[in-house]
Structure 1
Amino acid sequence: MGSRFTIPPPKEDHLRKLLLRVIDELADGNGPCTRRQSSALDLQWKVDRHQGPVVRLNPDELHFNDPHYYDEIFNIKNGKTEKPYNVANTFGPYAAVIGTVDHDLHRIRRGALNPFFAKRSVIEILPFVQDIIERLSDRYDAASKTAEPINLKYSYAALTLDIMNEYCFSKDTQTVMKSDYGRKSFDDVDSFLAISLVNIQIPWLVKAIYSLPDWFSRIINPAMGDILDVREGLAKLVEDIRHGNDLSYEKSGHRTIFHDLLESRLPSSELERVRLRDEAFSLITAGSATTAYVLKAVSYFIAANPAVRQKLFQELKTVIPGRGDRPRLQDVEKLPYLTAVIQEALRISQPVTHRMCRAFPDKALTYNGLTIPPGTAIHSTTLLLHENEKLFPDPQAFKPERWLGEEGQELQRYLVPFARGTRACLGINLAWAELYLIVATVFRRFDFDVSGVVRQRDVDVAADRILPVSAPDSPGMIVKALAIED
């Protein structure tokens, strides 16, 4: 027959579909569950391991767990690439790049943003990025003198949020200077993400939720009310720029995303208030949360492994001779061990946990002689790829050495934290620059006492909310900074 229906469903397919829906909706990591026992990833992982590399989730959706097929799924040569409606609306009915179903509309929206995240544009904004990093370093220095605990979950989130706010709107929000690093706002985002899996499985429900009056949403979920306030605050920033009430960018010394967008030649429909509000919320949330999670994880793994810590420190000293010197991106990105440490952190921390999904309306794909009709939703889970034991023996161990030498070069094709293809992560260049500069700055100047950190509770992915979350009883990642003197 040569169709998706020739790919067998798992046994008791109707029951499995129900389980996927229920587990997806309730995946919050509560109870005595260990990693992957609290999300649909656990079910997916078990099914894929026992039933082969491709499983039919339902008549229109296939899931692949074949590392060698990943490039075929996320290949730009596949032509028009769409995101199924329910997946596109993961975070609600957003008119942002991340929530765009149609290929042509996605190309227009992403094309307008691409120049801001090109490598050259990222290099141009590094001065203010490093200024914000220095603020955080100063706070770590102060904490090291008083033995004051630092919560790395929130300090890194504050850092990446400040960077995105400055780049998007030329707003110096100074979240890193708040005593608690703005903890409540990040907890609100975690609560907001909890509904994302419901959005995927019951897409009509999200429309109903977002059609409710704001006052009613606040009664149902106070955190959702706070998120609505954030969105409206972003809408006001957009309108202030549109009407010439905000000229802060003229003093900033760098271009900003939304000042430039509003002066672009985009169709008027693409510059409407709600459209740009949604884009702003998407950029700031995704651009801060994912990088912050990786920074938290890499800090733990460096500090918890003295051999890694010492080797990294010695390498950093070769390009950052003085403790107070600012690293230069062109220097640190050439350091092989630092690069390997970051690559291993990206692999093991899983910046995006849920199944990645694509559909190709004009092209049929083939897999081992089977034809996959155009329009079929094709899923692949990065976590399963990054924990493939054949590619990454002892996958739960933090081993930067995996990425060194010729064998490490061969593994590069299987490291896909930012996905690939026309819908790959927009901010990959900025994320890499942040990771290089922040890790280099922090670990040239500090070590961390992580004796109070419990990896399974505070570091590992405990639940899938599209983005990773730690166990519900985790306080974050509380450490003590130890200043390293020259």
Structure 2
Amino acid sequence: MYTEVLQALVLYSFIYFLVTPVINYFRDPKGLRRYPNFYALSGITDLPYLYEAWKGFRSRNLTEAHKKHPVLRVGPNSLSYGDPRAIKDIYGHGTTCIKDRFYSELSGSHPHLADAVDKDNHARKRKVLSSAYALKNLEGWEFKVADITVRLVKVFDERCTVPLSPNKLPKKEDMTIDYRMWTHLYTISAMANIGLSEDLGLISQASDRVLSESRDGTVKEVSFRQCLSAMGHATYDFVWAYDWYPTLVRVSKLLSPKYRQLWHLNDDWNGIIFNRGTTRLRKHRAGEKLDDFFSAMMEDKNGTPHNLEWGEILAEISIMMNAGSDTTAISLNNVMFFLLKNPHCMEKLREEIDAVLDDDDIVAPYPKVKHLPYLRACLDENLRMLPPVIMALPRRTPPEGTTILGEYVAGDTSVSMTAYAVHHNESIFKDHNVYRPERWLGEEGKSLQPYFIPFSTGARGCIGRNISYLEQTVLLATMVHRYDFALPSPDWELVIRETANLNIEPMPLKIWRRVPECA
């Protein structure tokens, strides 16, 4: 009996995983065989796309492939676009495409704003949350960002070294800060304060240790950054084969110690959110009137409750603490890298900032620096070069199909475009591999805006872009005005892995005060 069951299982697997996909490829019910394959087997199986995810920088490889083919078949039911004209068809306000299965596969019991597939549900969520993310609200929370920046300045002052001598490399013992770590502690702290009125104390402690709480009440201390990174890494490696995803998760837990640990850390991430949410809820129920994101979720400006379910509230806290901290931290790290690699850009930016800040401005006041054109250009050029959300954001065509680049695409087909491919399209961005902030100034900058999509675009564009710019503007202006920095060597490069967010390895820097000199 056991042998017969095993034989039947093997036969079923053979038919399901090999025979049926091959038959469907040649039947071609959606007419997708007319598109070139990313890999030879891309029209039959999603495994090559998973392999590219596992390799670590799929968007760059897709960009290279799109130089020959504006549309590529990356899976049996998936198309990737490299022609910037497809942006409006896939992501624009008038698109008929909806969010792909990617989002529903990864969402929990309650999808958050970024995961919501249904357009009506998304519109409801955005209406509730728009006041929390409105620019007027954020500028009212500027003091929270300033407070976190003051704390970071204090820590950096303590880690200052003597100025670097001309034409000398920094000593190993003078590499006193990991800018990648500190910018992430900065953004985690800022989002916890803005979102939940919570002081996590991460900067003063030089640590990302926080509490994670399981549903049975068990509490333990974990690494915020490690849990967040694990979540993005594990899901990114497997989710692209939608039908296989639950099975791949189970098998990876069973067979791989590495992935078993990643999924365990993913559970700890959920515990972090649960602990943060329940902590803030107790304050709310105790009657504390706090001006933060959580309050905006609970009731409108007139005090009328939104009556969101608890699972939905936790989901929104999760995306706020995830994307709200990591993507901005990535941007802050990378813009400093590009400025240090391009000293003429750093000098020009410093001149602009020094002209509006006083010597006693410990933190750059947002009103003084928010409209500086070159500062914004430096930030945007960094977002062009290395978008923090670098992966292709998948959409799904409606059941009746749609038109993309003037061609009909059958219904229920996954379509996507990575921002990296758009931002490194030579026909749009000349010298695309060169960090040149000047391209964003004047009329040239205005003409490039339709092709600038680090926050995506259309109705599903990132609702948190204003808060990201606030944090980036204040911190970068403060750092450039107060300090000098040096990389380990002129040829030092970032170590990058593409996951759900761009994963950046540590960036060690030497730091010293400009004026006055560090004691």
* Contact in 2 for aligned 1:362/1:375 (Cα 8 Å): yes
* Match of residue 363 from structure 2: 326
The Cα of 1:150 is off from its aligned counterpart by 0.2
Correspondence 1:59-78 to 2 at 5 A: 60-78=77-95
* Match of residue 118 from structure 1: 134
1:390-447, Cα deviation, whole Å (9 max, x unpaired): 2222222211122123222211221111010111111011011111111111111011
* Contact in 1 for aligned 2:231/2:269 (Cα 8 Å): no
In 2, distance between residues paired with 1:28 and 1:261?
37
* Match of residue 413 from structure 2: 376
* Match of residue 341 from structure 1: 378
1:151-201, Cα deviation, whole Å (9 max, x unpaired): 011100000000111122111002122235559431332222111224422
Correspondence 1:6-405 to 2 at 5 A: 8-11=34-37, 15-17=41-43, 21-24=47-50, 27-28=53-54, 38-51=56-69, 53-58=70-75, 60-78=77-95, 81-90=97-106, 95-145=111-161, 147=174, 149-180=176-207, 184-203=223-242, 207=246, 221-242=260-281, 250=289, 255-263=291-299, 268=307, 270-272=308-310, 274-361=311-398, 365-405=402-442
Correspondence 1:434-445 to 2 at 5 A: 434-445=471-482
* Of 6-15 and 119-128, the range deviating more from structure 2: 6-15
Alpha-carbon RMSD across the aligned residues, in angstroms, is 3.3
1:85-116, Cα deviation, whole Å (9 max, x unpaired): 22443476662122222111122222211111
* Contact in 1 for aligned 2:88/2:95 (Cα 8 Å): no
Distance 1:408 1:232, change over 3 A: same
- Does structure 1 residue 465 correspond to structure 2 residue 499? yes
SS in 1 for 2:408: strand
- Does structure 1 residue 5 correspond to structure 2 residue 31? yes
- Does structure 1 residue 478 correspond to structure 2 residue 508? yes
Please, what TM-score do these two structures have when normalized by structure 2? 0.79
* Contact in 2 for aligned 1:340/1:404 (Cα 8 Å): yes
Unaligned runs of 5+ in 1: 30-37
SS in 1 for 2:356: coil
**Count of residues in Structure 1 that have an aligned counterpart in Structure 2:** 461
* Match of residue 10 from structure 2: none
Distance 1:363 1:288, change over 3 A: farther
Distance 1:362 1:456, change over 3 A: same
The Cα of 1:134 is off from its aligned counterpart by 1.0
In 2, distance between residues paired with 1:12 and 1:226?
33
* Match of residue 448 from structure 1: 485
Larger Rg, first or second structure (1 or 2): 2
SS in 1 for 2:31: helix
1:120-163, Cα deviation, whole Å (9 max, x unpaired): 01111001111101111111111005846100111000000001
The Cα of 1:369 is off from its aligned counterpart by 3.9
The Cα of 1:294 is off from its aligned counterpart by 0.8
The Cα of 1:22 is off from its aligned counterpart by 4.1
In 2, distance between residues paired with 1:21 and 1:91?
22
* Match of residue 445 from structure 2: 408
In 1, distance between residues paired with 2:330 and 2:461?
19
SS in 2 for 1:418: coil
* Contact in 2 for aligned 1:92/1:206 (Cα 8 Å): no
Distance 1:161 1:65, change over 3 A: same
- Quote the sequence identity (%): 22
1:376-403, Cα deviation, whole Å (9 max, x unpaired): 3321110001111122222222111221
In 2, distance between residues paired with 1:67 and 1:394?
17
* Contact in 1 for aligned 2:327/2:389 (Cα 8 Å): yes
* Contact in 1 for aligned 2:132/2:293 (Cα 8 Å): yes
* Match of residue 33 from structure 1: none
The Cα of 1:249 is off from its aligned counterpart by 5.3
* Contact in 2 for aligned 1:445/1:485 (Cα 8 Å): yes
Unaligned runs of 5+ in 2: 1-28, 163-173, 210-221
In 2, distance between residues paired with 1:104 and 1:61?
25
**Aligned residue identity for 2:368:** D
SS in 1 for 2:378: helix
